[in-house]
Amino acid sequence: MNVAQSLIELPSDLVPEKMPRHVAVIMDGNGRWAKKRSLPRVVGHQKGVDALKNLLRCCDDWGIGVLTAYAFSTENWGRPRLEVDFLMTLFEGVLRRELAEMMTEGVKIRFVGDLTVLPASLQREIAYAMDTTANNKGIQFNVATNYGGRQEILHACRHIATQVQEGKLQVEDINEDIFENHLYTKGIINPDLLIRTSGEMRLSNFLLWQMAYGEMYVTSTLWPDFNRQEFHQALLDYQKRDRRFGKVKEE
Ligand code: IPE
Ligand code: IPE
Ligand code: MG
């Protein structure tokens, strides 16, 4: 979507210049959403896909360049086998079904996390979707799958240590830029705003490095119920924040 169009779509109480460039979201509360309706937890996950599709479209409409969604954490393997299997199959099916629409909308999809231990068929679908959308010019959509912030930092440390061991890098030269280049999120700007649904006030191992100065917004709404109005509220709240980055304002 081009800038002129997105300005038309943007609610009039949002300031275009103050929009976040990168929004991240912890899509939490699918299980509770289902439980409230006496449905199996997995129905909540299914519903959650629609909420994510709507948010992606909304970000695109409102001129937000990057959306990162937490789909599966390194700790989520500890859930019942049936739920984990359901999620892996769900991801695969959604990717296959949505690829054509992502191409029409110019979405560039990328997966962040350790993908090597995902089911082989899901890995293939992921590689295909990333390759196919690689040259798209629209919104960048990152899906954190088997993602853990601590594991990501360890993974970066190992890479960097190997480079030092091989004499390709000097210890004194290691800096924030080099470190970021070894994270799964290499090349992706840090999130300006992180939204977590379902009321939990924690990061749950999401984007530990990247969120050093990101703003957080927590809503008690459960993820499948998260919609444009809710997102609008989050953005209004974000636009009121004074992002000081540790400094003081000169009067
Ligand atoms: C988030 O919803 C989705 C994933 C972690 C995959 P949950 O499944 O954590 O839902 P609650 O927190 O149990 O309600
Ligand atoms: C975080 O939610 C992970 C995802 C949304 C994918 P969890 O439900 O796994 O987090 P905790 O267990 O409440 O911290
Ligand atoms: Mg949860």
From the CA of 48, which ligand is nearest?
Answer: 1
71 lines ligand 2 (CB under 6 A): yes
Strand residues in the chain grouped as ranges (E): 22-26, 66-73, 108-112, 140-147, 193-196, 215-218
| CATH number of the domain enclosing 58 | 3.40.1180.10
Burial status of residue 133 (CB atoms within 10 A of its CB: 0-12, 13-18, 19 or more): buried
- pLDDT confidence bin for 3, thresholds 50/70/90: low
pLDDT tens-digit series, residues 159-189 = 999 999 999 999 999 999 999 999 999 999 9
Residue nearest atom 1 in ligand 2 by C-alpha distance: 204
Please state the domain count of the chain.
Answer: 1
Ligand 1 mean position, distance from CA 15 (Å): 32
Among 2-11, 148-157, 212-221, 224-233, name the one with the lowest average pLDDT. Answer: 2-11
pLDDT tens-digit series, residues 214-249 = 999 999 999 999 999 999 999 999 999 999 999 998
Tell me the HSE value of 81 on the side-chain side, using a 13 A CA sphere. Answer: 0
Alpha-carbon distance of 18 to 229, in angstroms, equals 18
- pLDDT confidence bin for 100, thresholds 50/70/90: very high
Alpha-carbon distance of 103 to 87, in angstroms, equals 24
203 is in an annotated binding site: yes
Q: What is the pLDDT of residue 215?
A: 98
Q: What is the pLDDT of residue 186?
A: 98
pLDDT tens-digit series, residues 136-149 = 999 999 999 999 99
What percentage of the chain reaches a pLDDT higher than 90? 95
CA angle 78/207/243 to nearest 5° reads 145
Tell whether 63 is covered by a domain: yes
pTM greater than 0.85 (yes/no): yes
Q: Work out which ligand 2 atom sits closest to the CA atom of 144.
A: 6
Alpha-carbon distance of 199 to 45, in angstroms, equals 17
Ligand 1 mean position, distance from CA 31 (Å): 5
What domain range includes position 56? Answer: 20-148+190-236
Tokens of 201: 């006030």
Tell whether 181 is covered by a domain: no
196 is in an annotated binding site: yes
Ligand 3 mean position, distance from CA 198 (Å): 8
- Measured between alpha carbons, how far apart are the two ends of the chain, in Å? 39
Q: Is a pLDDT exceeding 60 seen at residue 6?
A: no
Whether the Cβ atoms of residue 147 and residue 27 lie closer than 8 Å to each other: no
Tell whether 166 is covered by a domain: no
b (16+ CB within 10 A) / e for 211-224:
beebbbbbbebbbb
Q: Work out which ligand 1 atom sits closest to the CA atom of 73.
A: 5
Q: What is the pLDDT of residue 250?
A: 78
27 lines ligand 2 (CB under 6 A): yes
Q: What is the pLDDT of residue 237?
A: 98
Residues assigned a catalytic role: 28, 76
Question: What is the best residue among 204, 216, 222 to mutate for testing ligand 2's pocket, by most ligand atoms within 8 Å of CB?
Answer: 204
Q: What is the pLDDT of residue 5?
A: 55
Whether the Cβ atoms of residue 43 and residue 87 lie closer than 8 Å to each other: no
Among 57-66, 145-154, 205-214, 241-250, name the one with the lowest average pLDDT. Answer: 241-250
Q: What is the pLDDT of residue 8?
A: 58
Tell whether 207 is covered by a domain: yes
27 lines ligand 1 (CB under 6 A): yes
Q: What is the pLDDT of residue 249?
A: 83
204 is in an annotated binding site: yes
223 lines ligand 2 (CB under 6 A): no
Tell whether 169 is covered by a domain: no
Q: Is a pLDDT exceeding 70 seen at residue 76?
A: yes
Tell whether 200 is covered by a domain: yes
**What value does the mean pLDDT take over residues 17-40?**
98
Tell whether 173 is covered by a domain: no
Tell whether 46 is covered by a domain: yes
Q: Work out which ligand 2 atom sits closest to the CA atom of 223.
A: 5
